[in-house]
Chains A and B, each alone.
Chain A
Amino acid sequence: MTDQRTPLVEMKNVSISFGGIHAVDNASVDLYPGEVVALLGHNGAGKSTLIKILSGAYKRDAGEILINGEPADINNPRDAKKYGIETIYQTLAVADNVDAAANLYLGRELRTPWGTLDDVAMEAKAREVMGRLNPNFQRFKEPVKALSGGQRQSVAIARAILFDARILIMDEPTAALGPQETAQVGELIKQLKKEGIGIFLISHDIHDVFDLADRVSVMKNGQVVGHARTQDVTKDEVLGMIILGKCPPKAIPGPGAMQVA
């Protein structure tokens, strides 16, 4: 990329292994403000693991993370949130027994001047944010486990955008959504992009994300196959990267690219 701006996020030579298996091996990715980068790869390619290092869920064994060009010290999810990194996990990470508003504010509850929970304010704000995402959603008083998969996913997405994120990580964000809700998430991504938020979209299905992404980074067996601007490559070429590790001419190859003899 010829862009002279400082990347919002730069993950450099990041590695992590679990019991001798290199889940992520010397991987580097970056993300600019207002950009959507799709992180693609098969199940088990290491994309979720790489991104969980950025969100603080895992601690890296090696490598560094730069936020706005400055080294960032991310050791747990709280640290990541301090840098404005919000994550929508594939598992959603919601507490089933409490309602939507309580889930949106879990860990960052609003409080009254007396120090008690301000459920009224939290519900009002929840209605506002959920209204943006899923205008039909009305079940604010019920525990989240009573909600449909799509509604639960809306709750997880709302929680991520509630706190003025600068960096948004979405791990398979539309996995549980129907076509209409998926379209809504697509609209939301475009809107957040305009606000200058950088977004990592993780997916194992290229069709979900190709049209939304500015760039793709492809992983295979824990390594980065390569990076490419979506305008420079076709879906078939990206599929070749995902399946074979074969880098097309206009992509920048990474350590995991198939060596052409």
Chain B
Amino acid sequence: MAERTMAQALNAALAEALEDPSVMLLGEDVGTTGGVFRVTDGLQKRFGSDRVVDTPVAESGIVGAAFGLAVAGMKPIAEMQFMGFSYPAYDQIVNHVSRIRNRSRHRFTAPLVIRIPYGGGIGAAEHHSESLEAIYAHVPGLKVVVPSRPIDAKGLLTAAIADPDPVIFLEPIRAYRAVKEEVPDEVYETPIGVASIERVGSDVTLIAYGAMMKETRQAAELLAANGVDAEVIDLRTLVPLDTETILASVEHTGRVVAIHEAPRTAGFGAEIAAVVAEKALYSLKSPIARVTGWDIVVPLRRAEKHYTPGVDRIVNVAMRTMEA
């Protein structure tokens, strides 16, 4: 065991995966520099430039080529530099990667992983900072995974690489180097589709994922100081969604707050709200609440703190659910 940041944990998972000769990394600057966030640092040196490939700046081509590799029996991992840079590849992802299994009735599959750093953190606004995971969660045929901490990052990435279906692997930029924790040295998988109950509580369920777990954990501590016992769920996977864990918790607490930094309208919180409303409405003691980013373009650094939901907003909204 060693203390690792999320970036180091992801690097370890990739290094272990590359021991399989069918695994390849493709992306802009993933080789020589180790990627803009240095997640692939040292891997090209260790595994060679034909296995860790610096590609042209051509996202549609990168994902399309990874798709072709996967269909032809390889296990490619493509990196998009920022979420906003993944949209040129959206055609490949939605129209082709997600559908080849259905189109070919299992004859061809696309077991590839597309790693996408997302969300705020570097303060560069717009496509370097946004959190549009819902546009991937909406696509049948894709799985969408979001780790919030180093230990899950390694296990989930290993599971994503082994998964027979295409996985959109979202890496929260703010969490890359925010904390270190003990991460096992051996190969292990954290199961896709299973949420984690990080804190057991009885009054209100806080549901979040990715970078927002940090504020959510802090909010739970503050709520406890105010006499409110919050249960904290880290979804870890958006698709397939662990509705069982969500519903069991809400049936127990009777209150729920869905939290994300993505814009509010049609954000993933709406899906959580819908699941709870459909399946656990009669357990609710107060209306379903959401704490989200605003329906605006992500602003520059000086205003990012106003955009990203803070601990105070989560606490306030959770306290309001207690008043009902």
Do A and B associate with each other? no
B interface residue numbers (CB < 8 A to A): none
